Structure 1
């Protein structure tokens, strides 16, 4: 038995192909690899497509009472990239609806034009051993959701030179 080598892509259904495509291109700083009136493929790395958007005519927004996927998460290399993306999107009027330090990650959640959620995050621990120590400490069991933070304040603290280890430490 072999596990997959990677997660290749996610396909989203929509009734508004162009607004969805435009939003994902902006948020992920992606490029279109193929698009017609029925489907669009976009990527942000060396994979031929990470997101496909199918124009099915769907119009019902997902909600908490629906089964299915809750969100898709994208990990950035470092806090500078995450905060730079936050500022770039904020300047475009794209704002996170939830910012939270889960402990293992510092995360910003956004909703696309159809109401699908994405998480932009960084890993807070440099090694698996550090992450396991955090889990073993009981801090995650005591609060598995995390602590909300103000993204603008976090960015200001980062720009003032506060150590990254302090910025990503869950209070």
Structure 2
């Protein structure tokens, strides 16, 4: 798990032994603590609990660069989706915890809220899947980020099968 999170976050271990590790990726002494508690069992994917942890990027370009950084290190996304207010790339850690990397699609919270209060989001609050490699190609060909972050409308959509991700 330590190797996954240092790779995923581009982080470093500030302290670690056989029982506990602290990982950081910025000026904070740690952002992630991993503890091997004796006697615990593996996570049951059918139980309730934490849905996901989100990490926000400043631009679509930096989100996609982080995708490429992870991909070349063997960390593949399980889902790429434009929710409308945000464009997201999801991953799972070795325990099956979902990690979301995202970029805001609107400049202000008011614009994002207005979108969520509209009919398109009411009809489809889940979003529209996208191919990260195609998105990178479009960005490299000069397509504007604002255009790429605008969600296509596909009509109603239900939840994906998270257990298959």
Q: TM-score range by the shorter chain?
A: 0.7 to 0.9
1:34 aligns with 2:15: yes
Aligned length: 151
Secondary structure of 1:118's counterpart equals strand
Q: Distance in 1 between matches of 2:121 and 2:138?
A: 24
- CA offset at residue 38 of structure 1? 1.0
Change beyond 3 A, Cα 1:62–1:104: farther
1:141 aligns with 2:106: no
1:101 aligns with 2:79: no
Aligned ranges 1:73-92 → 2 under 5 Å: 73-92=54-73
Tell me, which stretches of 5 or more residues in structure 1 are unaligned? 1-19
**1:10 maps to which residue?**
none
Tell me, which stretches of 5 or more residues in structure 2 are unaligned? 153-165
1:51 aligns with 2:32: yes
- CA offset at residue 93 of structure 1? 1.8
TM-score (ref. length: structure 1): 0.83
TM-score (ref. length: structure 2): 0.86
Q: Distance in 1 between matches of 2:28 and 2:106?
A: 26
Counterpart among 46, 51, 66 of residue 70 in structure 1? 51
For each residue in 1:59-113, what CA deviation from the matched residue of structure 2 results, as whole angstroms up to 9, or x when unmatched? 52341x2011011111111111110011111112211011101111111111111
